[in-house]
Amino acid sequence: MIYIKLTKRQEEIIELVKKNQPITSEQIAQILKVTRAALRPDLAILTMTGILEARPKVGYLYSKKGSNNIIYDYIKEITVADIKTKPVIVTEDTMVYDAILQLFLNDVGTIFVVNNGYLTGAVSRKDFLKIAIGNTDVHKVPIGVIMTRMPNIITVTDEDTAYEAAKKIIEHEVDSLPVIEKIVTDEGKEVFRITGKVSKTNITKLFVKLGSNS
């Protein structure tokens, strides 16, 4: 990760602008007892990164979103393809009992279901819990009976950003999203091949990585 470490003087400039905004470069130079020429590189960096906002004939202001711009500009470049991991996949005729075993053996929150190699559904821990506490014989019921079917599954593609994936996970209150690739069959039917998954764990690992690189 490219990290911009501010100098002591740049941090002093930020604090001055916060307390006295709007403030001109002449005023900043006077307070810091330096020339305007000496300040130009610092002010250029602080405005280019969005930390400060320069307004002609007004002066400099502190941007409330500014200090986050560096991080945001980096995060928005990270795509789903960069963070996706291997999904746990079963077929529609897999018995619920066997799918539950796969869920716990792989320590995941969602299992994805395919038919003829294409994504057709998904089953979460909540779905398994609902059927397990009922009177249903999980040894005899296929996963296709209880799964949420396409197109009612929230998906992402390799090209989507990690931010977009995280936003979908939060908005739709799901544990995991399938990463899909759209395919049009010879018959003209639109189907989806699953190429990975993005889960809450993937997103958490990403933020831990960002923090360790800061």
What six digits make up the tokens of 56? 């002609």
Domain with residue 119: its CATH number is 3.10.580.10
pLDDT of 72 reads 57
Please tell me the predicted confidence (pLDDT) of residue 133.
Answer: 87
**What local confidence, expressed as pLDDT, does residue 10 receive?**
87
Closest CA to 96 of 49, 50, 133, 67: 133
User: What is the four-CA torsion angle of 127, 129, 131, 133, rounded to 10 degrees?
Assistant: -160
pLDDT of residue 3: 47
The residue out of 39, 54, 73 marking a domain boundary is 73
Contacts of 210 (CB under 8 A, 6+ apart): 1, 71, 74, 75
Structural domain includes residue 37:
yes
Q: Give the model's pLDDT for residue 1.
A: 40
Q: How far apart are CA 20 and CA 22, in angstroms?
A: 6
- The amino acid present at 120, given as its one-letter code, is T
- Asked if residue 21 belongs to a domain, the reply is yes
pTM (predicted TM-score): 0.68
Per DSSP, the residues of 23-71 read: B-HHHHHHHHT--HHHHHHHHHHHHHTTSEEEETTTEEEE-TTHHHHHH
The pLDDT value given to residue 212: 61
CA pair distance 59, 211, nearest whole angstrom: 33
Residues of the chain with pLDDT under 50: 1-3, 214
Residue 90 neighbours by CB under 8 Å, 6+ apart: 98, 99, 102, 111, 112, 113, 114, 143
The domain boundary residue, chosen from 58, 73, 88: 73
pLDDT number for residue 77: 78
pLDDT at 64 (0 to 100):
61
Q: What is the pLDDT of residue 27?
A: 92
What is the per-residue pLDDT for 190?
94
* 20 falls within a domain: yes
- Structural domain including 44 reads 8-73
Cα–Cα distance measured from residue 23 to residue 19, given in angstroms and rounded to the nearest whole number: 9
Q: What is the pLDDT of residue 2?
A: 43
84 and 131 Cβ atoms separated by less than 8 Å: no
CATH number at residue 45: 1.10.10.10
Residues 189 and 206 placed together within one structural domain of the fold: yes
pLDDT of residue 99: 97
